[in-house]
């Protein structure tokens, strides 16, 4: 049954639509979305659908008129409960293309970033992907499909012979058959292991509760986190699923408080975490239970909402996240920061300073940069041509010169040298499935929402959860 009372408050969605030029979007489909998300065989069905659709006739960017702009598409949620994700990727695209365009673009072509809203729902993502190809003849790269919609759209993108750097952590992509697919972020299973390992090794907490959203991306953490809890002989006090369409979570918060955990693991985007954690604090006699969030909770919009709900000082004292390892010092970061400042007025949806240390923004900045360097080395903006140049640039080859920016890479390539790109997202190690396992760091929020790194997790501690 469809019940409008179960929809989340519309204020946040309205804010995103206005800031990102999405006025007029309809409400996310509540009942149908839940049915779609519950289909276990969704990936296989949509892969067959993609094959049936076939390629949609993208014009090769290498054949466009000289000087015409080329497009990088951000195919991700910009509205709906996971609306914080797409803008973080877009910030990385804006920052990278600014640096690239300042150095002449791609063989005389300037680059543009264009957003395509999946709403975090496979049912909306498929037509968004098809519309992206149909309306963007100068498309050279796709970034952004998240765990919410990657299973639906990656087969379509691959069928169109287009390179995609995805933010999905779904395990089905650990050994992906899609040759145009690349992933700089670790599988959700390892992120879940890292969250539990942080509780176990860093804080010696033994009683742990889960409170994850009911979307595909958030639920992907639950099973591997349960495995890690068992591996470390911890106690899972309760596992609460937060319906992201609800406007209150008092029942779930009461269950968590009554189970007396030492820590709560969570990812519930949109306004959900702010509401849930505020109610949990109230029901726990005004005391905040420590929280460990996913890397998606390292986000200026998430911080602003939750800090307002529970108090900034309370959040800063009780929150940690296992985030992707990034570099906030040195030459690669200096270039990133310079270009982020240059495009800061484009970031209208959240404080731009929140992207100075935003892991996903860093990694999509690197994805765009290394892809364009591959285009230049290949002398082609056609994905089927430049695709094979990405991995050698990312991983390095014998005799390659290490570069930390697009400008350095361009200069070295023009001098006939092989290059190894290492950006602010750190070193890349693509395996044969184009997956790169990065290091984890433990973050918390400091004053004014600044991200503070308080530790790291060695691979041995994370992998111990698999035993």
Residue 51 lies in a domain: yes
Q: What CA–CA distance (Å, rounded) separates 221 from 219?
A: 5
pLDDT digits 0-9 by tens, 71-123: 999 999 999 888 989 999 999 999 999 999 999 999 999 999 999 999 999 99
33's enclosing H/E stretch is helix 30-37
Angle at 300 between CA 295 and CA 301, to 5 degrees: 100
Q: Are residues 30 and 147 in the same domain?
A: yes
Ordered DSSP codes for 68-99: --EEEEEEE-SSSTTTTHHHHHHHHHHHHHHH
Nearest CA-CA partner of 109 in 62, 59, 68: 68
149-153, 275-279, 382-386, 426-430, range with the lowest pLDDT: 426-430
**Within this chain, do residues 454 and 413 fall inside the same structural domain, yes or no?**
no
Cα separation values, 399 from 184, 205, 377, 387, 393, Å? 24, 47, 16, 21, 12
Query: Per-residue pLDDT averaged across 281-299, rounded?
Result: 95
Per-residue confidence at 25, pLDDT binned at 50, 70, 90? very low
Question: Which stretches does DSSP call E strand in 308-407?
Answer: 319-324, 401-403
What are the tens digits of pLDDT across the range 314-346? 999 999 998 877 888 999 999 999 999 999 999
- Asked if the model's pLDDT at residue 223 lies above 50, the reply is yes
Cα–Cα distances in angstroms (integers) from residue 22 to residues 82, 143, 309, in the given order:
15, 19, 26
150-159, 271-280, 440-449: the lowest-pLDDT one:
440-449
Is there a single domain that holds both residue 12 and residue 111? yes
For residues 253 and 371, state if they share a domain.
no
Task: Give me the mean pLDDT over the 48-74 stretch.
Answer: 62
- CATH code at 215? 3.40.50.2300
Alpha-carbon torsion (342, 345, 348, 353), positive or negative: positive
How confident is residue 17, by pLDDT bands cut at 50, 70 and 90?
very low
Looking at the structure, tell me whether residues 211 and 109 fall in a common domain.
no
Chain-wide mean pLDDT for the chain? 87
**348, containing H or E segment:** none
Q: Yes or no: say if 207 and 234 are a contact pair by the CB < 8 Å rule.
A: yes
List, for residues 419-444, the tens digit of each pLDDT value: 999 999 988 889 999 998 767 889 99
The count of domains in the chain is 3
Same domain, residue pair 313 and 335: no
Q: Are residues 195 and 157 part of one domain?
A: no
Task: Please state, in angstroms and as integers, the Cα–Cα distance from residue 275 to each residue in 22, 55, 57, following that order.
Answer: 25, 43, 45
At 331 the pLDDT is: 96
The per-residue pLDDT for 448 is 87
Q: Is 282 within the bounds of a domain?
A: yes
Range of the domain at 35: 4-177
For residue 428, is it within any domain? no
Q: In angstroms, how far is the first alpha carbon of the chain from the final one? A: 43
Task: Indicate whether 262 and 201 sit together in one domain.
Answer: yes
Of 48-57, 68-77, 129-138, which range is least confident?
Answer: 48-57
Pair 158, 179: CB distance under 8 Å: yes
Residue 215 in domain: yes
Which pLDDT score, from 0 to 100, does residue 323 have? 82
User: Looking at the domain assignment, is residue 433 inside a domain?
Assistant: no
d(CA 245, CA 24): 19
Res 50 pLDDT > 60:
no
Q: Are residues 314 and 453 in the same domain?
A: yes
Residue 437 within any structural domain of the chain: no
Pick the last residue of a domain from 141, 157, 177: 177
> Which pair of tokens denotes residue 206?
């033994």
Digit-coded pLDDT (tens) for 225-246: 999 999 999 999 999 999 999 9
| Cα distance between residue 94 and residue 103, in whole Å | 15
Residue 169 CA to residue 186 CA, distance in Å, equals 6
Number of C-alpha atoms within 13 angstroms, CB side, residue 460? 0
Quickly state the pLDDT bin for 355 (edges 50, 70, 90). very high
Cα 169 to Cα 383: distance, rounded to the nearest angstrom: 23
Residue 407 lies in a domain: yes
Q: Of all helices (H) and strands (E), which one includes residue 450? A: none
Same domain, 67 and 51: yes
CATH number at residue 168: 3.40.50
In the predicted structure, residue 3 carries a pLDDT above the cut 90: no
Start-end of H helices in 232-329: 250-258, 272-283, 300-310, 312-318
Give the number of other Cβ atoms within 10 Å of residue 38's Cβ.
10
Contact in structure between 305 and 274 (CB atoms under 8 Å): yes
CB contact at 8 A, 155 and 51: yes
């Amino acid at each position: 049954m469809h019940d409008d009372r179960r929809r989340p408050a519309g204020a946040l969605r309205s804010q995103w639509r206005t800031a990102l030029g999405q006025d007029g979007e309809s409400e996310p489909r509540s009942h149908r979305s839940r049915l779609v998300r519950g289909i276990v065989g969704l990936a296989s069905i949509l892969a067959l659908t993609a094959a049936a659709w076939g390629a949609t006739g993208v014009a090769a960017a290498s054949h466009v008129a000289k000087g015409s702009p080329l497009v990088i598409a951000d195919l991700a949620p910009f509205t709906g409960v996971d609306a914080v994700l797409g803008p973080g990727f877009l910030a990385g695209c804006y920052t990278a293309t600014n640096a690239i365009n300042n150095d002449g673009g791609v063989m005389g072509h300037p680059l543009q970033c264009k957003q395509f809203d999946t709403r975090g729902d496979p049912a909306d993502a498929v037509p968004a992907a098809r519309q992206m190809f149909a309306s963007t003849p100068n498309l050279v790269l796709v970034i952004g499909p998240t765990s919410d919609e990657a299973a639906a759209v990656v087969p379509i993108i691959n069928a169109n012979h287009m390179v995609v750097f995805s933010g999905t952590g779904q395990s089905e992509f650990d050994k992906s058959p899609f040759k145009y697919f690349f992933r700089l972020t670790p599988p959700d299973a390892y992120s879940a292991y890292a969250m539990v390992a942080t509780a176990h090794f860093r804080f010696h907490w033994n009683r742990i509760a889960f409170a994850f959203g009911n979307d595909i991306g958030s639920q992907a953490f639950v099973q591997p986190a349960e495995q890690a809890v068992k591996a470390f002989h911890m106690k899972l006090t309760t596992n609460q699923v937060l319906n992201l369409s609800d406007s209150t979570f008092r029942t779930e918060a009461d269950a968590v408080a009554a189970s007396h955990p030492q820590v709560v693991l969570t990812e519930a985007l949109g306004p959900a975490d702010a509401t849930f954690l505020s109610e949990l604090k109230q029901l726990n006699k005004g005391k905040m239970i420590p929280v460990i969030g996913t890397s998606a909770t390292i986000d200026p919009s998430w911080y602003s909402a939750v800090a307002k709900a529970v108090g900034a000082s309370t959040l800063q004292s009780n929150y940690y996240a296992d985030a992707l390892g990034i570099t906030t010092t040195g030459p690669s970061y200096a270039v990133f920061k310079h270009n982020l400042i240059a495009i800061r007025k484009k970031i209208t949806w959240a404080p731009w300073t929140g992207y100075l240390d935003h892991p996903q923004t860093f990694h999509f900045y690197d994805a765009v940069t290394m892809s364009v360097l591959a285009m230049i080395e290949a002398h082609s903006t056609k994905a089927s041509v430049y695709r094979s140049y990405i991995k050698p640039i990312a991983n390095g080859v014998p005799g390659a010169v290490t570069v930390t920016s697009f400008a350095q890479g361009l200069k070295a390539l023009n001098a006939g040298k092989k290059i190894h790109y290492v950006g602010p997202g750190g070193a890349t190690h693509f395996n044969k499935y184009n997956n790169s396992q990065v290091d984890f760091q433990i973050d918390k929020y400091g004053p004014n929402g600044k991200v503070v790194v308080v530790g790291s997790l060695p691979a041995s501690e994370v992998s111990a959860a698999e035993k």
